[in-house]
Amino acid sequence: MIGLISATAAGAAARDRLAAAWPDRTRVYDGTVADAVRRAFAECEQLVCFLATGAVVRIVAPLLADKASDPGVVCVDEAGRYAVSLAGGHGGGANALAREVGEVLGAEPVVTTATDAVDLPGLDTLGLPVEGDVAGVSRALLDGEPVALRAEVAWPLPPLPVAAEGAYTIRVTDRLVEVAEREVVLRPPSLVVGVGASSGVPAEEVLELVGSALREAGLSARSLAELTTVDAKAEEPGVVEAARRLGVPLVTYPAGELSGVEVPNPSDAPLAAVGTPSVAEASALLRGGELLVPKRKSRRADGTPAMATCAVVRRPGRGRLAVVGLGPGARDLLTPRAREELRRAAVLVGLDQYVDQIRDLLRPGTRVLESGLGAEEERARTAVAEARKGQAVALIGSGDAGVYAMASPALAEASDDIDVIGVPGVTAALAAAAILGAPLGHDHVSISLSDLHTPWEVIERRVRAAAEADIVVTFYNPRSRGRDWQLPKALAILAEHRAPGTPVGVVRNASRPDESSRLTTLGALDPATVDMMTVVTVGNTATRDVAGRMVTPRGYRWQTAQEGAE
């Protein structure tokens, strides 16, 4: 919850705007300012104070205890010009909150945390448990000193300017290790513990078994991702409570699925009880991984039979492939989600001219793999291969990456061993339509006239179908030096079903500095004026030129009314 505190009418007005934008995230605190801040500090994860920073500093200073647990505090000035991340920039999320507040109120976020100032990801903001000299290693990264990355477990991290060797170290491991001087240890959630249990098993017995299994194997409980078991134990109180205390989800599977998993230590007891010869090992291994600790039983002080079993598996880090649409070219049409994925990627793969468009948005340390025109399949294979190494990868394309772009070849190459995230972008057709007016107000279709990957016979059949169905058509790749007859042919097919006066919109380099557009007709369009940087949109029989804008009504009533008037 975010506590909101204000002292003046101007501050209250901005406070109420934020409360209206985030009704489920915020709580307004009334009363004297000092009392309101103290109550919010004790009750909320974050605070936004519409007060002077000096006043807030004096109030919260005695309350500060530990940056890992203190709430994040953001101050907004009376005029709403700045959102200042005052305290808890990383641990309390104040830096991110300042940016969010800025977006809602139109304020400039002010973030002074050193890593954020130079666009380095904070080691304590990676979403992984962290131990060691965070300040010292972060300072070394900021100063450009060599920092070595030792990834004992492959995990998709954001870009970090690391070296093969260095006096400082970032270590990624799930093992119990002594943290060295000048070292940071990141704990990836790579361990899965499968649990078998008898009815009525105490939570303490499960916890003791899991803890001892991890300790004796030299594994860190901070890398525990989940407990797993059979569906029949989904509501077993002791198992449920153990997962709660460990702070991990309890994941259960049907006995039929578990019985198909090959394990080293099957048993007749669970087969008779729940219908599978293995619970602990099978549930931990079901989604793949390496069995580090085979099934073991709990030990009871009174010598009675064990009520719990467990097994420990290390699952490999799954690489992450984000397929990102950059939009038609204008920076303000690049979506916030696309920006975030570009900043998150440790490896960027793309066409050289598209890389140049967004190179300034990449974080230091991002590895860029760029190539020229005609290497689409190679780029797709490269991106998938990098993701399979456990990397966080962004594969970029113009417009929407799923429309005549990189998503299709990449997903055809990828399998279920990596995570794939699609990031939509504004397409050239949509950008051109916004410039022309509203040509896509009714059913519409996009057709590429390039026969490089599709036989012309197939393209012609699709154009003819769109013509006969009276659908608005947007042509991609309409004409090039080596392909100068396809567009005239396509227009001739449409002309068999549409009048010469049918509006046609022609937009070149939509949203870019040299953008140009014109509205013409099917009978007047000269194909020689069109090139590969152009999008051509041909209206249907209802499309009209209204005050110089191309408009397709949402239905055919307008057309009927106009014909009656004529």
- CB neighbour burial string for 108-147, b if at least 16 within 10 angstroms, e if fewer: ebbbebebbeeebbbbbbbebebebbeeebbebbeeeeeb
CB 481 within 8 A of CB 398: no
pLDDT of residue 213: 96
Structure tokens at 286: 């079901």
- What's the CA gap between 261 and 192, in Å, rounded? 16
Q: What is the pLDDT along the chain (566 residues), one digit of tens a residue?
A: 999 998 888 888 888 989 999 999 999 998 888 999 999 989 999 999 998 888 889 998 998 888 778 899 999 988 888 999 998 887 788 888 998 999 899 999 988 876 666 667 788 878 889 999 988 998 888 888 899 999 888 888 888 888 888 899 999 999 999 899 999 999 999 999 999 999 999 999 999 999 999 999 999 999 999 999 999 999 999 999 999 999 999 999 999 999 999 999 999 888 888 889 999 999 999 998 999 999 999 988 777 888 999 999 999 888 999 999 999 989 999 999 999 999 999 999 999 999 999 999 998 889 999 998 878 899 999 999 999 988 999 999 999 999 988 999 999 989 888 999 999 999 999 999 999 999 999 999 999 999 888 999 999 999 999 999 999 999 999 998 888 899 999 999 999 999 999 999 999 999 999 999 999 999 999 999 999 999 999 999 999 999 999 999 987 665 555 555 44
Please state, in angstroms and rounded to a whole number, the distance separating the CA atoms of residues 425 and 288: 34
DSSP structure class, residue 14? H
Which pLDDT belongs to residue 562? 53
CB 234 within 8 A of CB 198: no
Give residue 563's pLDDT: 52
Instruction: Report pLDDT for 116.
Output: 65
Report the interhelical angle of 203-216 vs 237-246 (nearest 10°). Answer: 50
Could you give the dihedral angle defined by the CA atoms of residues 12, 13, 17 and 22, in that order, rounded to the nearest 10 degrees? 10
- Which pLDDT score, from 0 to 100, does residue 117 have? 63
Q: Write down the pLDDT at residue 557.
A: 64
449: nearest Cα among 483, 415, 411: 483
What is the C-alpha to C-alpha distance for residues 341 and 158, in angstroms, rounded to an integer? 10
Classify strands 534-538 and 472-476 as parallel, antiparallel or unpaired: antiparallel
> What pTM was computed for the model?
0.76
Q: Return the pLDDT at 364.
A: 83
